[in-house]
């Protein structure tokens, strides 16, 4: 976990952000949950407990900046924004499998999307990115579900 935390702090500095106690605490919290998406409201509650004077806007702004520089990834589930610590700083273009039961996130290395197919359907448009996510039951949850039967 220390290597990931160090990488994130280096990315902050490389992008000319100060490494404050609040940002360090945010990164450490996210690193503890790096195999799952965390609701922003839970992050907000945790940080405001540590730093009572910290505003909601500061927390949300930092998360947005972290997303822009590649420290976190975002995801929306049930109209709730969630973030997850970046899996792979070397290969930021990747996709996920998300277990609907336990929430564990597994990185998928291959990209199945042919951008030329979509560009032909959107004449004049410029595609700047995409997201691909598989959902289902992970092997552990599926095994537990089958043992309950």
pLDDT value at residue 88: 57
CATH 1.10.10.10 positions along the chain are: 2-85
Average pLDDT estimate for 120-127: 86
Binding site residues for Fe cation, as ranges?
93, 130
Q: Read off the pTM.
A: 0.72
CATH number given to 95-147: 3.30.1490.190
Q: Are strands 133-136 and 105-108 parallel, antiparallel or unpaired?
A: unpaired
Q: Is the pLDDT of residue 26 over 90?
A: yes
Binding site residues for Zn(2+), as ranges?
99, 102, 138, 141
Give the gyration radius of the chain's Cα atoms.
Answer: 18
CATH number given to 2-85: 1.10.10.10
The pair phi, psi for residue 146, each rounded to 5°, is -70, -30
| Reported confidence tier of residue 43, pLDDT bands at 50, 70, 90 | very high
Q: What is the mean pLDDT of the chain?
A: 85
pLDDT digits (tens, 9 = 90+) for 88-115: 555 566 777 888 888 888 887 777 777 7
4-8 CB contacts, 8 Å cutoff, 24+ apart:
4/31, 4/34, 4/85, 5/31, 7/89, 8/71, 8/85, 8/86
CATH 3.30.1490.190 positions along the chain are: 95-147
Binding site residues, as ranges?
93, 99, 102, 130, 138, 141
Angle between helices 21-32 and 2-14 (to 10 degrees): 140
Q: Is the pLDDT of residue 61 over 70?
A: yes
């Amino acid at each position: 976990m220390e290597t990931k935390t160090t990488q994130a702090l280096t990315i902050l500095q490389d992008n000319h952000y100060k490494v404050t106690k609040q940002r360090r605490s945010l990164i450490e919290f996210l690193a503890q949950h790096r195999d799952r998406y965390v609701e922003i409201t839970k992050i907000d509650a945790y940080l405001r407990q540590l730093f009572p004077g910290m505003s909601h806007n500061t927390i949300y702004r930092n998360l947005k900046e972290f997303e822009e520089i590649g420290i976190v990834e975002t995801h929306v589930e049930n109209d709730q924004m969630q973030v997850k610590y970046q899996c792979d700083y070397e290969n930021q273009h990747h996709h996920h499998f998300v277990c609907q039961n336990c929430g564990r996130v597994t990185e998928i290395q291959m990209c199945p999307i042919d951008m030329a197919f979509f560009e032909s359907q959107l004449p004049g448009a410029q595609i700047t990115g995409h997201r691909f996510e598989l959902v289902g039951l992970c092997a552990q949850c599926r095994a537990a579900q089958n043992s309950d039967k």
